[in-house]
C-alpha cells in the first residue's frame, strides 16, 4: 500500500497541471512517528508533501465539504463511502469532486502498538506487511496484520466504492463469518453489565469533541451539545451529560456510520468510541439490509419510507 | 534547602502517613493511559510513568468546578443570593508531578493571581498545594522543555524535587511547604548537600543531553504583532485542524474557562468549565455575531496567544513549557514546534 504513493503523486500532479482540479486533499507526512496530517495541495511543486501509509487513519471526507472549485481527494474504502454519504446528504455534488481511490489494506492501531513498548515510540517504518517500530530503548518488528485497528480488521469494503481513478490494483475484500463479534460480546452481557460497560467507556472522556469533529457525519451547523437556546445538555463533567453526548451522537449516526474509525483515531484518551455506533450498524444491516455509503442513488434507511418495508408496524 | 534520601521500601508507607493531613494526587495508569488524579486511599502513585496524557493543572483548576451556589427557595434567608461554594482547601500534595507541569502552574499563576485580580478558587487551591516533582531521567521524543526555559530537572514552582535512583529517591527539599510535607511523611534521612547537588547536576546534564527536540523562539519578541497576525501562513496551518479541544485540554498552561448555571430542584449552582478557543462557541456573542467565526482565526488565536501575546504582555517567555502533549495528542498532528518555527522565522515582505 505504501508503494501507491508514487501513483498518487503522479495522478495528483497531472490533475493540478492540467487545471482539472484546484486542489488535492490528501495526507502529509507527520512530524512525529505514526502520525499524518490532512493537507490541501494547490500546486505541482508541493506534490512531494503527499504521503500514504498505514497511519492515514483519519477520514478525508471530513475535509470535503463547502468546497469552492473542483477538488481531488485521496479516498480509502471508508473515505469513499463517506463521500457517497456526503453526496446523498447534499453536502457535496458528485461533479465537484475527483476521487483518487486507494484500495486499502487497513490502518494500524497506534495505541495497540504503543502498548507493546515500555517507553515512547521514536520511529515507525513499514514495508509491505512488516512494521519496524522503535522506542527509546528497543526496536521490534511487528506484523501489520496483528496491529490493525479493529474496524479495519472487520472491514469488508477496503476498495473504494466510488472513484474516478485508482492509485493501485483493487485488493481482495475480506469475507467475514461474523462481521460483528464485538457487538455480540456486549449483547451477551446482562443489562447491568452492559450499562457498566458503556459507563466505563466514558469515564475518561474530557469532552474535547475530537471524536465528533473527526467524524464526517458530524457536520451539523450547531451540534446539540453546543446549542445554547435552549440548552439541551449540561456542559460540565457530570457523568449524565458526558454519557448523553456520546449516546445521542451515536444515534445521530444510525444508518449513516461507515465504521471508518476516525472517532477512535482522534480520541486523545484512547476511548473505543465505536462501541457506541457498532450496534446501530449491526441493526441497520439486520433490519434493513443496509450498509452506509455504498450507493449514491439510495437514501439511508432512517430518512426514507418504502411501501415494501419488511416491518408491519408502519403499514 | 536540604537533601533527603528516601528508600523506595519506605515510600508507600511514608506517603500513606501523610494522608492523615494531605489529600494526595498523582499519576494513575488505567486502560486509557496515565492521568494525574486524586489517589484513592488504597492507590499509590505510578512513579514509573513516562508521560501522562493530561497534565496536573486539573488539581488546581478542575475541568468542572462549582464556584457559587444559592437556594431558590423563597422561605430560606438569602435565597437567590449567590455565595461562594463551600469547597475545602485542606492541604494537598501532587506526587510525581513533572517539572514542566510545575513550571506551567507558575505561568498560570500570572493570569489567576495579578495585582488587579485574584481568582480565589485557583489561588486558594494553589496555596493549599505542595508540589512534589519527579525529575525526568529519560525525556521522551516530544519533550522540548529545554527550549522554552524549563527542563527535565527544572525546580521552578516545585516544593520538592525527587530524583529516581533505582532503589531510592534523592529528594531536594526546596521550600517550607516541601519541608512540611517531608515531615508529614516522616522522611528525614539527611543526605550530604554537596554530593547530592553534584548528583542532581549530573542527572540534569544527562537528561538534557537526551532532549533532541528543539524550538527557536528567540525572534518572536521583536516581531511586529500585526505582521504575524496578518501573515500568510495561517490558512495552511489551520487546514487540518478539526477544531476539537484536545490541544487546549491537554495543555498545562491553557487556562480559559466558561461559566454555566444549573438548577436542580431549588438549588442553583454556578460553575466553571475548561473552555477552548478552538470552539466557535468560545467567542460567539449573544447576538449571534462571532468575531472568530472562521477556523483559521481560532487556530491563529491559540498560537498567537501562546507565542506572542503572552510573551509581549508578561515578558516571561512564551506560554508553553515544552511538555509536547499537544504535539502528541493532536488528532491531525498540528505541531506547535513547527508553528513556532514558522512564526520565529517569518519576515514580512514589503
In this prediction the ipTM stands at: 0.94
pLDDT at A301: 87
Residue A256 and residue A85 in contact, taking contact as beta carbons nearer than 8 Å:
yes
Residue A77 and residue A160 in contact, taking contact as beta carbons nearer than 8 Å:
yes
In the predicted model, is pLDDT for residue B106 greater than 80? yes
A214 touches chain B (CB under 8 A): yes
pTM of the model: 0.95
Domain boundaries, chain B: 2-55+87-209, 220-344
Q: DSSP of chain A, one letter per residue?
A: -GGGHHHHHHHHHHHHHTTS-SEEEEEEE-SSTT-EEEEEE-SGGGGGGEE-STT--S-GGGG-SS--S-EEEEE-HHHHHHHHHHHHTTSS-GGGEEEEE------B-HHHHHHT-SS-EEEEEEETTEEEEEESS-EEEEEGGGGB-HHHHT-S--S-SS-SEESSPPPPPP--S-S-HHHHHHHTS-HHHHHHHHHHHTTT-----HHHHH-TT---SS-TTT--TT--S--SS-HHHHHHHHHHHHHHTTTT-----HHHHH-TT---THHHHHHHHHHHHHHH---TTS-TT---GGG---TT-S-STT-
B260 touches chain A (CB under 8 A): yes
Mutate to test the interface with A, among B28, B57, B333 (most CBs of A within 10 A): B333
Low-confidence ranges of chain A (pLDDT < 70): 1-3, 314-315
Residue B101 and residue B26 in contact, taking contact as beta carbons nearer than 8 Å:
no
Q: Is domain B2-55+87-209 in CATH 3.40.640, yes or no?
A: yes
Q: Looking at residues B270-282, what average pLDDT do you find?
A: 96
Interchain contact, A210 vs B250, CB within 8 Å? no
Convert the pLDDT of each residue in A200-214 to its tens digit. Answer: 999 999 999 999 999
Nearest CA in chain B to A115: B33
A36 touches chain B (CB under 8 A): yes
Q: Looking at residues B140-144, what average pLDDT do you find?
A: 93
Shortest Cα distance from A104 to chain B (angstroms)? 20
- Reported as a pLDDT band with limits 50, 70 and 90, residue B72 is very high
pLDDT at B199: 97
Interchain contact, A136 vs B260, CB within 8 Å? no
Convert the pLDDT of each residue in B143-192 to its tens digit. Answer: 999 999 999 999 999 999 999 999 999 999 999 999 999 999 999 999 99
CA distance B32 to B53: 9
Nearest CA in chain B to A59: B332
Shortest Cα distance from B244 to chain A (angstroms)? 5
Interchain contact, A36 vs B333, CB within 8 Å? yes
Q: Looking at residues B9-25, what average pLDDT do you find?
A: 97
Task: Using the structure block, give the residue that is written with the C-alpha cell 508529614.
Answer: B184
CA distance B241 to B54: 20
Interchain contact, B140 vs A119, CB within 8 Å? yes
Residues of A in Cβ contact (< 8 Å) with B50: 118-120
Interchain contact, B273 vs A32, CB within 8 Å? no
Residues of B in Cβ contact (< 8 Å) with A136: 138, 140-141
pLDDT at B185: 97
In the predicted model, is pLDDT for residue B332 greater than 70? yes
Interchain contact, A31 vs B337, CB within 8 Å? yes
φ, ψ dihedrals at B270, nearest 5°: -110, 130
In the predicted model, is pLDDT for residue B200 greater than 60? yes
A210 touches chain B (CB under 8 A): yes
Strands A50-51 vs A23-29: parallel, antiparallel or unpaired: antiparallel
B positions 320-349 inside 8 Å of A (CB): 327-329, 331-335, 337-338
Interchain contact, A206 vs B32, CB within 8 Å? no
Question: Which of A38, A120, A204 is opposite residue B50, by nearest beta carbon?
Answer: A120
Sequence-ordered list of residues with C-beta below 8 angstroms from that of A178, at least 6 positions apart, any chain: A184
Interchain contact, B64 vs A237, CB within 8 Å? yes
Interchain contact, B260 vs A236, CB within 8 Å? yes
CA A234 to centroid of chain Cα atoms: 28
CA distance A291 to A255: 7
A positions 186-205 inside 8 Å of B (CB): 204
Residues of B in Cβ contact (< 8 Å) with A56: none
Interchain contact, A32 vs B338, CB within 8 Å? no
CA distance A27 to A39: 6
CA A200 to centroid of chain Cα atoms: 23
Interchain contact, A234 vs B54, CB within 8 Å? no
Interchain contact, A237 vs B273, CB within 8 Å? yes
Convert the pLDDT of each residue in B252-264 to its tens digit. Answer: 999 999 999 999 9
pLDDT at B350: 74
Question: Which of B141, B258, B329 is opposite residue A120, by nearest beta carbon?
Answer: B141
Residues of B in Cβ contact (< 8 Å) with A271: 32
Provide the edge-to-edge strand list for the sheet that holds A121-127: A121-127, A130-135, A139-143
Amino acid at each position: 500500500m505504501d508503494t501507491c504513493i508514487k501513483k498518487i503523486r503522479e495522478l495528483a500532479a497531472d490533475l493540478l497541471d492540467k487545471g482539472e482540479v484546484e486542489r488535492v486533499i490528501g495526507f502529509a507526512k507527520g512530524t512525529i512517528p505514526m502520525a499524518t496530517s490532512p493537507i490541501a495541495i494547490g500546486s505541482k511543486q508541493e506534490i512531494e508533501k503527499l504521503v500514504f501509509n498505514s497511519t492515514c487513519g483519519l477520514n478525508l471526507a471530513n475535509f470535503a465539504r463547502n468546497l469552492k472549485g473542483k477538488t481531488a481527494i485521496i479516498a480509502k474504502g471508508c473515505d469513499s463511502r463517506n463521500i457517497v454519504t456526503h453526496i446523498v446528504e447534499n453536502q457535496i455534488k458528485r461533479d465537484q469532486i475527483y476521487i483518487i481511490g486507494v484500495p486499502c489494506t487497513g490502518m494500524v492501531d497506534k495505541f495497540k502498538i504503543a502498548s507493546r513498548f515500555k517507553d515512547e515510540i521514536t520511529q515507525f517504518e513499514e514495508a509491505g506487511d512488516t512494521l519496524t517500530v522503535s522506542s527509546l530503548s528497543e526496536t521490534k518488528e511487528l506484523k501489520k496484520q496483528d496491529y490493525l485497528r479493529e474496524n479495519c480488521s472487520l472491514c469488508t469494503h477496503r476498495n473504494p466504492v466510488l472513484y474516478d481513478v485508482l492509485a493501485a490494483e483493487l485488493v481482495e475484500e475480506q469475507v467475514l463469518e461474523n462481521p460483528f463479534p464485538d457487538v455480540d460480546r456486549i449483547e451477551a452481557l446482562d443489562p447491568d453489565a452492559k450499562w457498566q460497560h458503556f459507563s466505563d467507556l466514558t469515564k475518561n472522556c474530557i469532552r474535547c469533541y475530537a471524536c465528533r469533529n473527526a467524524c464526517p457525519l458530524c457536520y451539523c451547523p450547531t451540534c446539540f451539545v453546543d446549542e445554547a437556546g435552549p440548552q439541551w445538555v449540561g456542559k460540565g463533567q457530570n457523568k449524565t451529560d458526558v454519557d448523553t453526548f456520546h449516546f445521542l451522537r451515536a444515534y445521530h449516526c444510525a444508518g449513516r456510520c461507515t465504521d471508518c474509525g476516525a472517532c477512535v483515531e482522534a480520541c486523545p484518551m484512547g476511548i473505543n468510541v465505536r462501541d457506541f455506533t457498532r450496534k446501530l450498524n449491526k441493526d441497520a444491516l439486520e433490519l434493513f439490509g443496509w450498509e452506509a455509503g455504498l450507493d449514491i442513488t439510495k437514501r439511508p434507511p432512517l430518512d426514507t419510507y418504502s411501501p415494501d418495508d419488511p416491518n408491519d408496524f408502519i403499514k | 534547602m536540604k537533601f533527603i534520601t528516601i528508600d523506595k521500601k519506605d515510600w508507600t508507607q511514608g506517603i500513606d502517613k501523610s494522608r492523615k493531613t494531605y489529600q494526595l494526587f498523582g499519576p494513575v495508569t488505567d486502560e486509557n493511559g496515565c492521568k494525574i488524579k486524586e489517589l484513592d486511599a488504597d492507590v499509590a502513585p505510578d512513579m514509573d510513568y513516562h508521560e501522562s496524557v493530561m497534565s496536573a493543572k486539573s488539581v488546581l483548576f478542575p475541568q468542572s468546578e462549582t464556584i457559587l451556589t444559592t437556594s431558590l427557595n423563597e422561605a430560606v434567608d438569602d435565597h437567590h443570593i449567590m455565595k461562594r461554594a463551600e469547597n475545602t482547601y485542606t492541604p494537598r500534595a501532587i506526587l510525581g508531578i513533572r517539572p514542566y507541569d510545575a513550571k506551567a502552574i507558575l505561568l498560570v499563576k500570572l493570569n489567576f493571581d495579578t495585582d488587579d485580580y485574584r481568582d480565589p478558587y485557583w489561588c486558594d487551591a494553589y496555596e493549599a498545594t505542595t508540589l512534589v516533582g519527579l525529575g525526568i531521567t529519560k525525556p521522551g521524543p516530544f519533550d522540548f522543555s529545554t527550549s522554552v526555559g524549563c527542563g527535565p530537572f527544572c525546580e521552578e514552582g516545585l516544593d520538592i524535587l525527587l530524583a529516581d535512583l533505582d532503589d531510592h529517591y534523592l529528594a531536594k527539599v526546596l521550600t517550607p511547604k516541601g519541608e512540611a510535607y517531608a515531615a508529614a511523611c516522616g522522611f528525614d534521612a539527611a543526605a550530604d548537600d554537596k554530593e547530592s547537588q553534584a548528583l542532581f547536576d549530573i542527572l540534569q546534564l544527562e537528561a538534557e543531553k537526551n532532549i533532541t527536540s528543539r524550538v527557536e523562539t528567540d525572534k518572536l519578541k521583536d516581531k511586529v504583532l500585526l505582521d504575524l497576525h496578518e501573515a500568510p501562513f495561517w490558512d495552511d496551518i489551520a487546514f487540518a485542524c478539526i477544531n476539537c479541544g484536545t490541544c487546549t485540554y491537554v495543555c498545562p498552561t491553557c487556562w480559559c474557562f466558561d461559566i454555566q448555571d444549573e438548577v436542580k430542584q431549588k438549588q442553583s449552582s454556578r460553575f466553571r468549565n475548561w473552555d477552548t478557543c478552538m470552539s466557535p462557541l468560545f467567542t460567539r456573542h449573544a447576538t449571534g455575531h462571532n468575531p472568530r467565526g472562521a477556523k483559521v482565526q481560532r487556530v491563529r488565536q491559540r498560537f498567537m496567544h501562546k507565542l506572542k501575546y503572552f510573551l509581549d504582555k508578561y515578558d516571561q517567555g512564551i506560554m508553553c513549557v515544552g511538555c509536547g502533549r499537544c504535539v502528541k495528542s493532536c488528532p491531525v498532528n498540528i505541531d506547535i514546534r513547527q508553528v513556532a518555527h514558522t512564526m520565529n522565522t517569518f519576515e514580512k515582505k514589503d
